Structure 1
Amino acid sequence: MFTLVIALGSFVFYLIAYNTYGKWLANKIFKLDPEAKVPSVEFEDGSDYVPTSKGVVFGHHFTSIAGTGPIVGPSLAVMWGWLPALIWVLVGSVFIGAVHDFGALIVSMRNRGQTVGDIAGRVISPRVRVLFLLILFLALTIVLAIFGLVIALVFRAYPQSITPCLLQIPLAVIIGLFIHRKGGNMMLASVGALVLMYLSVIFGDVGWLGGLNESLKSWGLMTWVTVLLVYSYIASVLPVWTLLQPRDYINALQLLSALGLVVLGLIVAGLWGGAPVEGIRPNLEIAAPALESSFEAKQLPMIFPFLFITIACGAISGFHCLVSSGTSSKQLRCETDARFVGYGSMLTEGFLAVLVILACVAGLGLGIQSSDGSVLLGADAWDARYAGWNAMGLGAKVGAFVDGSANFLKAMGVPGQYATALMGVFVASFAATTLDSACRLQRYVVQELAGGLMRKEVDAGAPQPIALNANPLSWLANKHGASIFAIAVAWGMASLPAAAGKPAGTGGMILWPLFGATNQLLGGLAFLVVIFWMKRNRLPVWFVVLPAVPMLVLPAWAMAHQIFVSALGSTESWIAQERWLLVGIGSVSLLLELWMVVEAVAA
């Protein structure tokens, strides 16, 4: 029953926050104007700038920012205890993460839909623009490399999720054409898409779909990564209404309905117990400690700063500023829609993170199969899955949520195979929408960097201006060239072997420790840009300064520890461990952050 109280209490807390703090920010601080001219209308081009209803933009925004971050992070962070993880998610999402996302969205909308990196060059200094864009490039490269591997690992662990995820692509294109070209009814498209998506989960292993699934599940890790990155390239160069918007929208429908089912299952399990085990319904109880005491036995790193970068999306995520300023700001057709999309999406993600925590610390206790085939319940199930920090590989982190949340669905009588398939599709779909959005955002970053270098050459040249199409960098200023460059670099990083004799792709996980630190560091730097813009527009900044300080300090601390203690301080050679990529990217990121902060202080 206590688990149910936490879930319902969190939902009410977020509802109150949206209608108080979020409303205060919208009306009193940013003063949103329903009559203001927005970038999607002013610069409408039918490709990137497309006026869109707030429901569709919310779908794109929420599914793009969520990804597997709020699943993997909380699934691992509960090892320090469920209480600190829960507090960080609740407080962080309301007062830090949602403020960050909302602020970046507003700043971009009031600057012609430009990215945070471009705006940084004007409000701080021109050098900061380049520094910020370089940090964005590193962060997005890690996202592209890691999320391609994440989806491949999910497909391997839950092959029944493959065909439903693939069927989303043609379905999205059909819906995009139906709505954009034919002016079709949104409600009809929504219901139809949702029905087809759930049918694909149920019948994904039947008939010719089952045969297709059987063939695809034998694909290797790098085969999937290659296919997914090629898909990301296609999605990044097509007009947003063709694939990105409708795919994210139907994903949002599916994912929000799946969240609703998880909540309903949690209520059933809380009131009547889980699915019967040997004829008895087990009680829904928290099986994990509120605060872990055996740090050494479980090989846990320091709770400060690592808890705050492990949960990298459920509380705050720097990646969100890229979605806010890279795509969503170019699609909102009314300024007042920004609170629903910017602030509301982050609170929804925070609630998802709460459900992940509860699935891992209570849902697992409703029953998991042990290696000998017996069913483990309660604390035995928790101890078996959470034996130690180093024992929790990426697959195990995702699996803890999938199995725990599937137990909630089973409590309602959903057959086990469908419950697990639905949660597998849930995870893979989140990761896929982040992947294609990240590729489009990386395309913008590469184009801006290349365009800046080309303009610099023109400005410094002879009296006769240099033709941009004669510049050796001109292919990177093209959307196709920029996208191909982005996926090629990500593929190269993802394909690294972990060590001699290991298959390609296994070494890409070396980058995973950097994901959280780079992500949160990006959030702190985005706060800097928002602060400078607000100061220049004579707006109060205290509510942005307070979260900005810890988000600049904690990620830098964690990244320095990973580089100088975990990698360089290891008794085993960091080159032999193939951690040179971690050391290299981490060191460059720290130097760029320090340089950017120095520039900000000088300004």
Structure 2
Amino acid sequence: MVTLLIALGAFVAYLIAYHTYGKWLSQKIFKLDPNHVPPSVEFEDGCDYVPTSKSVVFGHHFTSIAGTGPIVGPALAVIWGWVPALLWVLFGSIFIGAVHDLGALVVSLRNRGQTVGDIAGKVLSGRARILFLGILFLALTIVLAIFGLVIAAVFKAFPASIFPCLIQIPLAILIGSYLHRKGVGLLIPSLVSLALMYLSVAFGDVGLLLSFNSTLAGWPIFTWVVLLLAYSYIASVLPVWLLLQPRDYINSLQLVSTLALIFLGLICAALFGLDQGAGKQSLEIAAPALRLNPEGAPFIFPFLFITIACGAVSGFHCLVSSGTSSKQLKNEADAQFVGFGSMLTEGFLATIVILACVAGLGLGIPEVVNQVPTGNLLVGKEAYQARYASWGSATGLAAKVGAFVDGAANFLKALGLPATFAVAVMGVFVASFAATTLDSACRLQRYVTQELAVQLKLKPLTNKHAATVFAVGVAGLIAAIPEAGQEWKLANLGKGGLLLWPLFGATNQLLGGLAFLVILFWLRQKNTPFWFIIPPAILMLLLPGLAMGLYLFQGDGAWLTGTTPNYLLSSFAIATVILEVWIILEGVKRWRKPVS
């Protein structure tokens, strides 16, 4: 029952936070005004600036900010115990993450829909704008280089998820085209598409669908990466109403409905247990509350706060808030629902992920020795230990996603759903999140590239097609690099993003700290109280810097001083720290000047 009480308590806490702290921020601090003309109306162009209802923008925003972050981060962080992970997700999402997302959205709404990087030039300095945009470009390049691999890996691990994910694209285009002409709502057509998606999951292991999924699952990783980047280019230059909005809305319904199923399954498992052939197993937390020294793991501080980003606070969210969502909201008053509400929803998702990994796994998982199933069922602490015996056994995409998928699938089985269907639904859940993030990241990178091109006077890259080709091309070149020590052949290509991925966690959280600086200086210029911004801003500037320093200099595996130095990562890390310090100095310099 402890698991159920935690889930219910988190749900209630998020509702209270939305209607208290979120309402205070929206009405008393940011003073959201429904009569204020938003950028989507003032600069409506039918492509990027499109006035849209809050439910549709919420769907886009939530699916874009979530990605696989609130899954893989918490699924790894529970190696330090479930209590630290849960506390960081709960309090971080309410007092840091939701404030960050809402603040970035409002600041962009009041500045023509510009990104926080561009707005930094107004509130800090022209140099800060270029420095900030440079960090944004680096972070988004890593996302684009790695997320094609993430989706391909999910497709290979869960082939039944391929067709349901792919079919969403033509369905979304058909819905977007029809609704744009007719001017009706997205809900009914999206529910029909959602039903078709679930049917394709149910019959994914039968006949032609089985053959289709199996064939595509056998494609090389790099083939998937190239196709997904090409798709991202197309998706990012099309009008938002044609693909981005309907696809994200369909995905949001799918993701929220799946989250609801998981939650209902958790309730059933807590009340009635689950019998998978080895006797009824009750739902209990199998993980330790606190585990300070897991084998091979770094110390919990500061790495817990870097490992769990999405779900607590993530700098990537400021890009979505100020890059795409601010250009679509047709009413400024909807910012609380989209910005604050989406982050709390993601926090609840991260809470469910934690419970799936520390309690859902304990309901039973197949024992695997040397990648071969033994036929035995592991339950309770044995199941947790099988996935979290050491840092090495818990890291890697397959291990992190697999722990969540198996645990959450057990919740669905408690509802009476077949095992194959339950696992396939969770595979689609993960792949869909990753795909929407890839779409949005490519469009965001186009905005950042165009803004940088204006500042650096690179006129050809101010064109949206040229900027997108450049963004996709850079990511594709990085992705094409084989892993260290591997030959240049097709089977080894597509994993180059992994070379820079260890840097992303700290860089991503650093973006959050820098976004807080922009929000802080903007509030100061408006003579608005900003005291509540200072603690999270300091925290999100110090923690990533500390983590970066430990990555560079601590232990035998240190990037710079370790036994086998990684000079590529070291160079990027040092450059990122220099940019951070430079921007902070620009802030200190600006703070000394009187408020204009």
| Shared fold per TM-score greater than 0.5 | yes
Q: Does 1:520 align with 2:519?
A: no
2:433 aligned residue: 430
Tell me if structure 1 keeps the 8 A contact 2:40–2:50. Answer: yes
Alpha-carbon contact 2:168-2:197 (below 8 Å) kept: yes
Cα deviation, residue 476, structure 1: 1.3
1:596 and 2:595 matched: no
Q: Using the alignment, how far apart are the partners of 2:560 and 2:334 within structure 1?
A: 49
CA distance in 2, matches of 1:568, 1:382: 31
The separation in 1 between residues aligned to 2:459 and 2:442, in whole angstroms, is 19
1:138, 1:585 within 8 Å by CA — same for their partners in 2?
Answer: no
RMSD, aligned CA:
1.2
Q: Which moved more, 1:141-150 or 1:50-59?
A: 141-150
Residue in 1 aligned with 2:310? 313
Equivalent residue letter for 2:547: A
Counterpart of 2:84, as a letter, is P
Task: Say if 1:222 and 1:504, in contact at 8 Å, map to a contact too.
Answer: yes
How far 1:302 sits from its partner (Å)?
1.3
Higher mean displacement: 45-54 or 25-34: 25-34
CA distance in 1 between partners of 2:502 and 2:517 (Å): 24
Matched, 1:404 2:407: yes
Deviations 1:155-194 (A, max 9, x none): 1111111111111100111111121122234332132122
Match of 1:334 among 328, 331, 336: 331
Corresponding residue of 1:378 = 380
Letter in 2 for 1:584: S
Query: Is 1:494 aligned to residue 479 of structure 2?
Result: yes
**Structure 2 contact 560–570 (Cα < 8 Å) conserved:** no
The alignment partner of 2:284 has SS state of coil
For 1:439 and 1:84, locate their aligned partners in 2 and report how far apart those are by CA, in whole Å.
33
Query: Does 2:504 match 1:505?
Result: no
Superposed CA deviations along residues 544-599 of structure 1, whole A, max 9, x for unmatched, are: 1111001000011111211233434555332xxxx333222212111111110011
Q: Is this contact kept in 1: 2:66–2:310, CA < 8 A? A: yes
Return closer, same or farther for 1:150/1:375 CA change in 2, 3 Å cut-off: same
Per-residue deviation at 1:207?
3.0
Q: Which residue of 2 is the match for residue 5 of structure 1?
A: 5
CA contact (8 A) 1:57 1:245 kept: yes
Are 2:461 and 1:444 equivalent residues in the alignment?
Answer: no
The equivalent of 1:198 in structure 2 is 198
Q: Deviations over 1:123-165 (max 9, x none)?
A: 1111110000001001101111121111111111111111111
AA at the equivalent of 1:329:
S
Amino acid at match of 1:158: F
Structure 2 Cα separation of the partners of residues 380 and 176 of structure 1: 48
Ranges in structure 2 where 5+ consecutive residues have no aligned partner: 369-373, 591-596
TM normalised by structure 1 equals 0.94
User: CA 1:254 to 1:506, structure 2 compared with 1: closer, same or farther past 3 Å?
Assistant: same
Does residue 1:555 correspond to 2:555, yes or no?
no
Q: For 1:4, what is the secondary structure of its paired residue?
A: helix
- What is the percentage of aligned positions where both structures have the same residue? 66
Aligned to 2:97: 97
Cα pair distance change 1:445/1:569, threshold 3 Å: closer
Q: State the Cα distance separating 1:342 from its structure 2 match.
A: 0.3
For 2:178 and 2:329, locate their aligned partners in 1 and report how far apart those are by CA, in whole Å. 20
Q: Is the 8 A contact 2:559 2:569 kept in 1?
A: no
Taking the aligned partners of 1:338 and 1:602, their CA distance within structure 2 comes to: 31
| SS of residue paired to 2:392 | helix
Question: 2:83 & 2:529 partners in 1: Cα distance?
Answer: 33
CA distance in 1, matches of 2:139, 2:23: 31
Aligned amino acid, residue 325 of structure 1: S
What is the one-letter code of the residue matched to 1:203?
F
For residues 477-520 of structure 1, the C-alpha deviation after alignment (integer angstroms, 9 at most, x for no partner) is 11111111111111222222222236223443232221211110
* Contact 2:560–2:567 (8 Å) recurs in 1: no
For 1:501, give the aligned amino acid: Q
Shift of the alpha carbon at 1:203?
A: 2.0
Report if aligned partners of 1:34, 1:334 keep a CA contact under 8 Å in 2: yes
Partner of 1:573: 564
Aligned match of 1:474: 459
Q: Deviations over 1:384-433 (max 9, x none)?
A: 11121122222100110011000000111100000000000000100110
The answer to whether the Cα contact below 8 Å between 1:75 and 1:356 also exists between their aligned partners in 2 is yes
Contact residue 86 and residue 357 of structure 1 kept, 8 A:
yes
Runs of 4+ aligned residues of structure 1 deviating over 4 Å after TM superposition are none
CA distance in 2, matches of 1:411, 1:343: 32
Structure 1 segments unaligned to the other structure (5+ residues): 455-472
**Could you tell which deviates more after superposition, 19-28 or 268-277?**
268-277
Moved more, 258-267 or 367-376: 367-376
Matched, 1:73 2:73: yes
The aligned counterpart of 2:87 is 87
TM-fit CA distance, 1:299: 1.4
| Distance in 2 separating the partners of 1:534 and 1:275 | 56
2:281 maps to 282
Q: Write the mapping of 1:248-267 to structure 2, written as runs, cut at 5 A.
A: 248-267=248-267
Q: C-alpha distance in 2, partners of 1:515/1:24?
A: 33
Aligned residue number for residue 16 of structure 1: 16
> Conserved in 1, the CA contact under 8 Å of 2:145 and 2:496?
no
Measure the CA separation in 1 of the matches of 2:567 and 2:168.
38
What do the CA deviations read for 1:83-128 (whole angstroms, capped 9, x no partner)? Answer: 0000000000000000000000000001111111111101111111
Determine if contact 2:523/2:529 at 8 Å carries over to the other structure. Answer: yes
Deviation at 1:315, TM superposition (A): 0.3
Counterpart Cα distance in 2 of 1:150 and 1:441 = 19
Residue pair 2:190, 2:246 contacting (<8 A) in 1 also: no
Partners of 2:301 and 2:149 in 1: how far apart? 28
Range 169-178 or range 356-365, more displaced: 169-178
- Retained in 2: the 8 A contact 1:450–1:476? yes
The 5 Å alignment of 1:453-468 reads 453-454=456-457
Please give the secondary structure, in 2, of the residue aligned with 1:567: coil
Q: How far has the Cα of 1:351 moved from its partner?
A: 0.2
Name the aligned partner's letter for residue 158 of structure 2.
Y
Q: Deviations over 1:219-275 (max 9, x none)?
A: 111111111111111111101111111111100000000000000000000000024
- SS state at 1:375 partner: strand
User: Which range is displaced more, 522-531 or 178-187?
Assistant: 178-187
Give the superposition deviation at 1:448. Answer: 0.8
Distance in 1 (alpha carbons) for counterparts of 2:561 and 2:28:
52
Shift of 1:199: 1.2
Amino acid at match of 1:133: L
CA distance in 1, matches of 2:495, 2:454: 35
* Counterpart AA for 1:474: K
Query: Which residue identity is paired with 2:513?
Result: G
CA distance in 2, matches of 1:585, 1:235: 29
Indicate conservation of the 8 Å contact 2:91/2:312, yes or no. Answer: yes
Per-residue CA shift, 1:455-493, capped at 9, x if unaligned?
A: xxxxxxxxxxxxxxxxxx333111111111111111222
